[in-house]
Structure 1
Amino acid sequence: MSVDIFSDIACPWCFIGKRRFETALAALPFGEKVDVKWHAFQLDPSLPDHFEGSELDYLTQAKGMPAEQVAGMLEHVTTQAAGEGLKYDFDALHVANSFTALRLLALAKERGLGNEMKEALLSAHFEQGVDTGSNEALQGLADSVGLDPAETAEVLASDKYSDAVRADGVRARELGVSGVPFFVLDNKYGISGAQPSEVFEQALSQVWKEIGGENLQMIGTTGQDGAVCGPEGCN
């Protein structure tokens, strides 16, 4: 069974969704047979390579969200992340354009290191205060997951994989994706948001049964626990 996941490395709910999805996979007897592919969905292409200010500054200035609302949102998402064993640090976070990081992720996918690179990028951005808009920092992250240093340097010094990142965005729009994370199961069924692991487990089990000839019961995926990030911000 295939699962295609659309997300951005600058999306806090995407990291939470990744953990919850992985928890579901680990609980399933067929989890190792699920082919997971990561796809790019850039939330803010207009963001400069380096934004001078905090995440709170960015969301209030660039998105026009009230500071009190943003502060509450960041507190909520930090609490949700902690529930998945993640230690978000929005005070140390560097707001940066994610396009180069997504290009590097495209290289890692080709080399069979997509999940490792995705994990490294998300952790660096949300937990470690690493500037993921810095080529030097990205080179170090790529080295840490085992990518060839020379090949990484070539990608960072060029526009390689730009078309791949844009193609993912086009595909997402064709599927009607407006917020991430977004999970496509077996090229047929979509799950929107960082759903509880139990929802992922049930959905994966039902699709697996369908592949074996049983009918799929569609799952409703609305509500606060299915939080996503979109171009206008996160909920």
Structure 2
Amino acid sequence: MSDATTLTVDVWSDVVCPWCFIGLANLDLAIDELEGPEQVEVVLHSFQLDPNAVTQTPEEHTEALARKYRTSVGQIKATTARIVSLGAERGIDFRFDRAVSGNTFDAHRLLHLARERDLQVALKHRLGRAYFTDGDPIGEHDTLRKAAVDVGLDPAEVDEVLAGDAHADAVAADIAAARQMDVTGVPFFVVDGRLGLGGAQPPEVLGKVLARAWADRTAAAEQAVGDGAVDGEACGPDGCDV
């Protein structure tokens, strides 16, 4: 729960989820317009869209999606155009033709280290750039180490985390918490510990929820989403909305 001057927004997301990065950008815009709290603290929580993911080239990944949805590779590529366009509006350069998929568990472990060093959001964005723009293999330790060091994490600490299983329990706890809330897709936002909404909601919707949370922090919220909000675009185990 937030203190008297700080509003906390907990966000469940995955590193390979494009809607998560659009959702975070929308959240940034909403926070910029919010009046009231002295600060808004964004806390990122782990979620794995595919816990069994293996490294795949863009071609392999696209072909796998086409088989899964029983459609053509051309159709899969076409349906990503909306995400690319929306990303560009938010300053995100999605290059799905470069993205090398992989398991994100170690990336989430590093994000927990970054939280302890007040660098979590910075690392999240840097990992997104590595995966979606630069085409660095997101499951490889070299990719993760470079991103972590780039945002200011201590190289020795990073190496220690990657060499062992530090923060694995924290990642598992985040995933379990999402399961308890019946979260099946990300991004998923929980504002002030009590108001939740799923998907990459527009900035104006996020802004209304933030303002409502700040205006009435003690109200019991039976329904997480209000003010006309509906489920926004998200990524789940079966893929990303397009």
- TM-score, L = length of structure 1: 0.91
State which of 35, 49, 73 in structure 2 corresponds to 1:29.
35
Letter in 2 for 1:89: R
Letter in 2 for 1:111: R
Letter in 2 for 1:73: T
1:203 aligns with 2:209: yes
- 1:8 is matched with which residue? 14
Contact kept, 8 Å, 1:16 with 1:81, in 2: the verdict is yes
1:219 aligns with 2:224: no
Other structure's SS at 2:122 match: helix
Deviant stretches of 4+, over 4 Å: none
- 2:4 is matched with which residue? none
Distance 1:169 1:212, change over 3 A: closer
Aligned length, in residue pairs: 231
- 1:113 is matched with which residue? 119
- 2:132 is matched with which residue? 126
Other structure's SS at 2:10 match: strand
State which of 1, 21, 44 in structure 2 corresponds to 1:38.
44
User: Unmatched 5+ residue regions in structure 2?
Assistant: 1-6
Contact kept, 8 Å, 2:11 with 2:45, in 1: the verdict is yes
Q: Distance in 1 between matches of 2:227 and 2:189?
A: 13
Identical counterparts, % of pairs: 40
Deviation at 1:32, TM superposition (A): 5.0
State which of 91, 95, 99 in structure 2 corresponds to 1:89.
95
Other structure's SS at 2:16 match: coil
Q: Distance in 2 between matches of 1:142 and 1:58?
A: 30
1:178 aligns with 2:184: yes
User: Unmatched 5+ residue regions in structure 1?
Assistant: none
Deviation at 1:132, TM superposition (A): 1.6
Letter in 1 for 2:227: I
1:144 aligns with 2:150: yes
Q: Distance in 1 between matches of 2:127 and 2:108?
A: 9
- 1:162 is matched with which residue? 168
Q: Distance in 2 between matches of 1:76 and 1:88?
A: 11
Deviation at 1:4, TM superposition (A): 0.4
Q: Distance in 2 between matches of 1:221 and 1:209?
A: 18
- Deviation per CA, 1:120-146: give whole Å up to 9, x if none: 111211122122211112111111111
Q: Distance in 1 between matches of 2:83 and 2:8?
A: 28
Q: Distance in 2 between matches of 1:130 and 1:31?
A: 38
Q: Distance in 2 between matches of 1:113 and 1:189?
A: 25
Q: Distance in 1 between matches of 2:37 and 2:91?
A: 21
Other structure's SS at 1:9 match: coil
Contact kept, 8 Å, 1:2 with 1:186, in 2: the verdict is yes
Other structure's SS at 1:131 match: coil
Deviation at 1:80, TM superposition (A): 1.4
Contact kept, 8 Å, 1:2 with 1:35, in 2: the verdict is yes
1:51 aligns with 2:56: yes
- Deviation per CA, 1:88-130: give whole Å up to 9, x if none: 1001111111111111111111111111111111121112212
Contact kept, 8 Å, 1:6 with 1:180, in 2: the verdict is yes
Root-mean-square deviation over aligned CA pairs: 2.1
- TM-score, L = length of structure 2: 0.88
Distance 1:75 1:181, change over 3 A: same
Contact kept, 8 Å, 1:51 with 1:58, in 2: the verdict is no
Deviation at 1:219, TM superposition (A): 3.0
